[in-house]
Amino acid sequence: MQSFFQTLVSGLSFGAVYALVALGFSLVYRTMGLVNFAHGQVLTIGAYVASTFYLSARLPFAVAVPAAMVLTGAIGLVIERVLRPLENKDFDLMLIGTIGAGTVLEAAAILIWSSSGRGVSSPVRTAPLVIGGVRIPPYDLLVIAVTAVAMVALTLFLQRTKRGAAMQAVAMDHEAATAVGIHVGRSNAISFAIGAALAALAGALVGPMLYVSPTMGDSLGIDGFAAAILGGFGSIPGAIVGGLGIGVIGSFAAQWFQGYSDLVTFVVFTVLVMIRPTGIFGERTVNRA
Amino acid sequence: MSGKQRYSIASAIAVAAAALTAAACGAPGASSPSSGGSASSGAAAGPIKIAVVDAQSGSSSDLGQFEWRGVSLAVKQANAAGGVDGRQIHLTLYDDQGDPTVGTELARKIASAGDIAMFGTAESAVTVAMAPILKSEKIPNITSGQSTQLTDLKSPYLFLNGPTGVTYDSTLANYVVKTKGYKKIAMLTNNDSYGAGEDKAFTTALKGLGITPLASKVVPADQTNMTPALTAIRGTNPQVLFIGAEEAQSGLIVKQARALGMTAVIAEGAPAGTPLYLSTAGIANANGTIVSSPYLGNDASAAAQKFAAAYTGAYGSAPELHGAKAYDGAQIMISALKACNACTGLPLANAIRAVHYAGLLGNFAYNGSGVGIFATAIGIVTDGKIKPIG
């Protein structure tokens, strides 16, 4: 039983990171109808920027993370600006453009920080909580708490602010949104920036748990993407549930199937998606063709 | 379509086919690498072209960068001293992306590009894939891989710049069991070619000493959450945890093991002797690790200190095992080229085999399987540095 709960705890910790990644995917999809395939590489940049502020500039972790979010959000603005000529004209090319952007970002990470990765020390040095023999690192609890706050903040932004409502209106019908005076380009730029900031937050938080390297965003991006689909692409609460779900499934698959854990995780994911193709909280809020 | 149009199209296709055929026969002046090699290239002029094939992107790119730097430093020093027979060595770097398929494409590419030898790769799986092509093209290759799959090929053109995994792990097992007296040993390895090789080599070494592991778990090579596997291992209460994974994943394993409250001594081969392992694990967690490695740090000898100073001056960061291996491999190649007057093909391979070289990793003398060094040393990580035992 101790082993079961220990595995569950580690699954929830990593699941919180996947949930943050999935939030970014879902936000951009919900407001632009676009799957941003550069999201994993944006996470990598965010992780490197945060670790540079924390390790090299010696800023407190609580300052390094928001600073990285702001800087990486600016990168999101640049990506959107480059892709803007394709908006509402050629959606498939825009999608491919995000793949290209991801390749550029990974190459930039290697050029700036070299291909050698870096370890990041945990900012929380207190001893793990031990409950019934199950060890819970305090940093993991911090990651889960930050993820919950990010979800609430994003939900409030989309549902309670004019800007959030405008962003969703653009995804539903960009011509109608333009007709009522919503600037589509600006709306998409903000969407990309917030999505990038969320990716940076995920990257910054996962750095002390793992290892910052130019390819860290590849697997985290895939897991986050799967989490977004599992929860219902475009659904904010779905991103959280999907992320935690992928984390827990992966954790128990690792315990029972060892070297085949990735295979088993994605077989289970495939079966779940076949049963419910729109995801747990599946909704069609976007009418892009 | 009119008859005139059909004639035009057919003519264009015929011209294109003729052009392609002419190109396939080789560019003017390019030497054929399958001529059997040249015993003396005194008449040849221009630089000596050597390929460096390593991952410069993807998850193995850090190993690729270390190897590129080690080789580049040795070649730069040789060129500054006049090169080989007055000819400079020209290196060309190719990115294999850590992918065996890309590696095989590059093997064909370097053959047609006129490279007479190759350094790399740092991944045994990629080198194994390239080896048959390099053998048929008669291109000698010095690799950083350590898998016995490489030596099993018995290619006269393939040489290792370090010991095999069997050497690393038998030395480690002997120290852990016979010297330290540990009997309760658990294993955690990954499922790529390196981890699988480590699993096999260490298990065999333990069996030879009459020890059966308490637990032997395998994780995917890109797995980041090792807690489930470690939780199972923790239940067996081992004295020693043997790890068979690359640097970053090894560090993560140690970090997560300590977070779970495991106090087992960590034992590992080459990856545990690198700064990457120490920074990922955290120095406090890594202290006490038993390392089996032929290069126990940049202070291990006067030669290592000199190498480290040159490397740091050139690249701004201290070297580690992979850079040292690559440096030794390059020095061996340069020695062979000097001995045979910049020969190519089988004569160059034979010249490499004839080299006796006192390197950073030890004394090299190659056997028929391409292995030149047969010992490693044991060190213990102490305060973030590796201290040789005794």
Q: Write out the DSSP string of B224-277.
A: ---HHHHHHHHTT--SEEEEES-HHHHHHHHHHHHHTT--PEEEESGGGGSHHH
- Phi then psi dihedrals of residue A130, to 5 deg: -120, 115
CB contact under 8 A, A219 and B224: yes
Token pair recorded at residue A167: 């962003």
Question: Which element (helix H / strand E) includes A178?
Answer: helix A174-179
Q: What is the CATH number of domain B166-293?
A: 3.40.50.2300
CB contact under 8 A, A115 and B56: yes
**Angle, helices A236-257/A216-231, rounded to nearest 10 degrees:** 120
Which residue in the set A3, A130, A210 is minimally distant from B231, CB to CB? A3
**Interval B292-316: pLDDT, tens:** 999 988 988 999 999 999 999 999 9
What single letter denotes the amino acid at residue B141?
A: N
Residue B71 neighbours by CB under 8 Å, 6+ apart: B52, B91, B119, B326, B327, B329, B330
CATH superfamily of B48-163+301-365: Response regulator (3.40.50.2300)
Per CB-CB distance under 8 Å, the chain A contacts of B252 are: 210-211
Min Cα–Cα distance to chain B from A103, Å: 11
User: Which pairs count as long-range contacts for B201-205, CB under 8 Å and 24+ apart, including other chains?
Assistant: B201/B148, B201/B165, B201/B166, B201/B168, B201/B169, B201/B170, B202/B169, B202/B172, B202/B173, B202/B242, B202/B244, B204/B166, B204/B169, B205/B166, B205/B169, B205/B170, B205/B172, B205/B173, B205/B174
Residue B35 has pLDDT above 60, yes or no: no
* Model confidence, pTM: 0.82
Residue extent(s) of CATH 3.40.50.2300 domains in chain B: 48-163+301-365, 166-293
How high is the pLDDT of residue B241?
Answer: 98
A135 touching B (Cβ < 8 Å): yes
Distance between CA A110 and CA B64 in Å, rounded? Answer: 12
B88 touching A (Cβ < 8 Å): no
Pick among B63, B225, B230 to test the A interface (most A CBs inside 10 A): B225
CB contact under 8 A, B58 and A215: yes
Token pair recorded at residue B93: 């770097």
**Interval A143-182: pLDDT, tens:** 999 999 999 999 999 889 988 888 888 877 778 888 888 8
CB atoms within 10 A of CB B100: 18
How high is the pLDDT of residue B5?
Answer: 57
Residue with tokens 């990506």: A79
B232 touching A (Cβ < 8 Å): yes
Min Cα–Cα distance to chain A from B171, Å: 27
Does a cis peptide bond (omega within 30 degrees of 0) precede residue B121? yes
Min Cα–Cα distance to chain B from A69, Å: 23
Instruction: Calculate the CA A127 to chain-centre distance.
Output: 28
**Interval B315-374: pLDDT, tens:** 998 899 999 999 999 999 999 999 999 999 999 999 999 999 999 999 999 999 999 999
How high is the pLDDT of residue A176?
Answer: 83
Residue B168 neighbours by CB under 8 Å, 6+ apart: B146, B201, B269, B270, B292, B293, B376
A129 touching B (Cβ < 8 Å): no
The β-bridge relationship of strands A134-136 and A129-131 is antiparallel
Domain A2-115+136-275 coded CATH 1.10.3470: yes
Closest CA to B249 of B194, B205, B319: B194
Closest CA to B347 of B32, B38, B45: B38
**Interval B136-187: pLDDT, tens:** 999 999 999 998 899 999 999 999 999 999 999 999 999 999 999 999 999 9
How high is the pLDDT of residue B18?
Answer: 52
Report the sign of the C-alpha dihedral through residues A192, A198, A204, A209, in that order.
Answer: negative
Residue B39 has pLDDT above 60, yes or no: no
Residue A221 has pLDDT above 90, yes or no: yes
If pLDDT is split at 50, 70 and 90, which confidence band does B2 have?
low
| Cβ contact B242:B212 at 8 Å | no
Min Cα–Cα distance to chain A from B211, Å: 23
Distance between CA A49 and CA A118 in Å, rounded? Answer: 12
Per CB-CB distance under 8 Å, the chain B contacts of A260 are: 220
Closest CA to B323 of B348, B304, B300, B350: B304
A282 vs B240, higher pLDDT = B240
CB atoms within 10 A of CB B157: 23
| Cβ contact B229:B164 at 8 Å | no
How high is the pLDDT of residue B41?
Answer: 45
How high is the pLDDT of residue A289?
Answer: 40
Token pair recorded at residue A238: 């779905």
Min Cα–Cα distance to chain A from B219, Å: 4
Terminal-to-terminal C-alpha distance of chain B = 87
User: B101-134 burial by CB neighbour count: b if 16+ within 10 A, else e?
Assistant: ebbbebbeebbeebbbbbbbbbbbbbbbbbbebb
Per CB-CB distance under 8 Å, the chain B contacts of A115 are: 56-57, 61-62, 64-65
